[in-house]
Structure 1
Amino acid sequence: MAPRILLCGDVMGCLNQLFKRVSSVNKSAGPFDALFCVGQFFPESSDQLDEFMDYIEGRAQVPLPTYFIGDYGFGAPKVLLTASKEPANCGFKMDGLKVCENLYWLKGSGKFSLLGLSIAYLSGRQSSDVQQYGVYSQDDVDALRAVAEEPGIVDLFLTNEWPSGVTNRANASDVPAGLSDSMGSDSTVAELVGEIRPRYHISGTKGIYYAREPYSNIEAVHVTRFIGLASVGNKDKQKFIHAISPTPASTMSSTEIATKTTNTTLSPYTFVEKGSSPKDTTKRSSDSVSDSQYWRYDVSQKRQRHGAGDGDKLCFKFLSSGSCPRGQKCNFRHDFDAREQYIRGVCFDFLNKGKCERGPDCSFKHSLQHEGENYADRRPRSENSSSKRSKECWFCLSSPNVELHLITSIGENYYCALAKGPVVEDHVLLIPVEHLPNTLSPSAEHEVELSKFQNSLRMYYKSQGKQVIFFEWVSKRSSHANLQVVPIPSSKAALVEKIFSLAAEKLGFKFVAKKFDSDSDGRKFLRAQFDGNSSLFYVELPGSTILLHQIEDNEKFPSQFGREVVSGLLNIADKADWRNCKYSKVEETKMVEDFKSRFQEFDPNC
């Protein structure tokens, strides 16, 4: 059964009135699983504080799990500071800091899963004074931009202020009379929602109820529904509470996800540049998107103040996603070591400038694994930079970060390991022992050993009544190569090429498909196509067939494309995101031992 959710606009501290209404709705149409509040949650004046504190201090009960953003208003600093100091709220908790029983504060920004729903949020208003409560920071925005690069669909996106342009009459009808886009609207929110592309976007602050017609998204098949909610107890009796029951996207089929209603409109966020006329609905290409959407440091403005030195700043797009659509034309630095530190939770400003102005209020780390190395003052790499990188790499055997318990077999040049968050049982990776960026450019000796591993796995899966797919995303910015190895039922083998081709068409490209006399001939073809200066994605299918796509520099290619397609093929869409397939270390160790015992007679290294 789909979760049942209540949504509410600005509460303004009126918790008695809110929860009286919630209890009434829950009795007549419930039960509901959770309540999400957007807009100002705290009172406007001290007169309402006693009522509010009755709930915080336990004299009154919050009737169902309630999550709020809008952390500003009378009493907010004291209440939230007290909550932040609670031992249970220490650490980086994106699923809410507990304020009292059944009440949770969504601080800053983040994404978490609740009742199967993927929920993202930006708490607070835009302001230059990031020290006050109720204001979001650039780090909060950057964190959400990283969320936009992650696989999977966000079901709900919560913001206080409305996104600029959502009421654009060129794309929507039934806009309430007198509704202004200038007050209570935020251009940064508009940029974020255009990148995150949630199924539902919920906002408050305007004091008006507005359920916009669903609109289609750029580079996504699903639609987005915007709902703006009025404040609790408003004099105009505008709707301040709204019920939805969305099926989690992770459990929906691709057909269900792509379903559109007859009143679906164009996206309101397709203007050419900031400041363009609302009548101009020309779609932006990836090259014409404004710098501010992708980069922490805008070239035109920052360089006027600081000179040309900003060319040594780090590219946030590259750090957050591992790729940059501007490629070599980017004015900022693409640094693999800095990306690995960023993935480990190091603050972007600390990496980029050597300091962070938010200090202890920052949710990210302010230290490097290799102390004394300052990314803000980085000089050209020394000869031993590759060895430094290998010590930090997740796949290098010499790295303290490698998860040795996942390894199933080790050869001279390659090793086999259980995939982290496997799509299916016996999903493994073939990984070079050396810190190599791909499996196509190493020596012939490496290729011979890789072929032995592949043939052994083919025979093993065949003994299990299965076929196997190999796929790899070869990027010129790759760090440590890994060839994905996914077994599939033999009954599905004939469908693989068609499913990959259909997925490619949705992204606007076509695979080059070639059938060879042997699997080794297919590998020779792939090695001949790779020049070391380009990016490509390929699939080795059953029957010695190769699917190849040469990726253009400015092409936005999904990092989890292969996994997403295989998950769709096997009707397990929720497993497209590896984080939905997490196991404990004990469980992973058991899975590895089981695989090793079954694979032993085929293992080329036994």
Structure 2
Amino acid sequence: MAHADGTTSTRVLLCSACEGDAEDVVKRCEAVAARAGRFDVLLAAVDGKRSWKGACLALRNAKLAPREAVFFATGHVEDDEDEADAQESTASGHDASGNAFVARWLRRTWDDLLLGRLRVAWCPSDGGPPQVQEDVDVLLTDAWPMDVARGASDVDARAMEASNQGNQTIAATTMALRPRYAVVFGSKVAYEREPYRQDGRVTRFIALTGVGAGPRREWMRALAIQKKGEEHTQATPSPFQSNEGNKPVPKWAQEDEGDLPDGTSWRWNKAEGNKRPRDEGTANHAKKAARSEAGTSQQDNARIFVRNLPYSAMEGDLAKHFAKCGEVRKVSIMYGKDGKPRGLAHVTYVDTASAQRACTELDGEVFDGRKLFLEVSTRGEGRPLPPMSMGKPVDGCPFCLSNPNADAHLVVSVAESAYVCVDKGAINGDHVLVIPVEHWPCMAAMPPQMAQEIKRYGEALRNYAENQGKALVLFERFMQFRKKGGNHCHINAISLDAGDTGDVENAFRQHAEEAGFCFEHELPSGWSQEELRALVGEREYFCATLPDGRSMLHLLQRQERHPMNFGRDVVASLCGAPERGDWRACGRDHDGEEKLAEDFKQRFRSFDIMS
């Protein structure tokens, strides 16, 4: 996260208070923050029997509450305890100094979260099968990965013993996810391994003790996690790969079925004592893939997406409302960076049938004065992409400069791999497009050097806008089309009369809410193509970049009907001319287009990267 002092690191406080309560953790965090400054993220393992409500109260009374606090319950929650402590919960508010915060309480089950630009995964040793198969920044566990100390030069006898007796499943998960930080809460011995490198990614392993455990007590650790790419250069080989190249692959990353050597099963809905034998001989790969996909889909389809919630809605009340259609496993209300609810939520049922019943029976029902809109959620799944042309000219594409029918009279600057042209349906005189010369579908998919040149153009346009006393807004909509070789990336850049960044952000969020979606992710100012790729993978997306350089990202879901003119509509409304969201209302004749391009070219000349 970008801070007032210009740094780009995310300040994280780790707290392994496995036998302590959440309220006490907040007070100890406050004491550290008083000396070191406010933290962006607090990650704390706490006794699951202790008060969640007390933690929320402590956050509100603190002077320097962390921006986001996540409490991972490590103990068993009794059925007769306070329901608010027994369920996974989310709360938001402001501390005594007026700083906004968001807090989460997670039970003993696998979960992964996006906190700012950090992806954090919580993987208790008995928490069930992983539900993410991608790199994470911080992996939190309650058991040592087996053999993690192997190959380290700074290990003592007690740490080596903990390593040798570690958990093989946790080792396999750590190997597969390649976290930048692998952290153990509640260890019997405190230890920090020298960094190791695996498949080009560097991991630091840290074991924190519980409160008062062992002679080398260490249960809190502060981290300043830098932007991706700013990693250690000195690192040992991976402890999970022997000289022969053998790796402990977790069952959820394997193609074959069966159990891990430690007795753990990664199969969905495995009946106890009903172990299925491994296929003998030649197996049909397509059938195996279909079985795996069906298992994952069954979990995903048990979750529904709820829109148009009253802002006063509480998770407990929603759980009771949706329990009409079946047992509710989890309710998660979505909050914005300001700590305020967005009127959106995910409700997860125990089974798919209950979720489908809710979508049928409760869609359109009034809850606390507002009509709810429901649909089966596919969060984490993007639309499948059809084959696309990458880097090759496409006949008929208006953005391929090699096309004889391209609108060359709109071009104002051409670099080695990208160019800038005036939009054919320009909303104002400073509305241009930044486009790769070759046919690439989106910013995330193009070659790195091409993305860097487009970023340079973006910075030049930002400098131009500031010189004009204006603010720059950019947006990219990547939707894969089957015709004309698929989408040719084009990034809209519009200079607006200078206004508050918050006004621009609120306009995008409000229009998104009205269109029935939200921006799930945020990229910091100065984000890299690598960071964008890490979030979108091969999924379709809409990305809006604000005047301060931050970007908001929405990943398009299966069957989602994303408004084609969404970005234009938002910008046109900010210009006070909402009718210009329709490009047909902005048409000019050839001479008018040529003059528009020439005028902008003259104004932009001194900022052009090719000047």
TM-score norm. by structure 1 comes to: 0.48
Higher helix fraction (1 or 2): 1
Higher strand fraction (1 or 2): 2
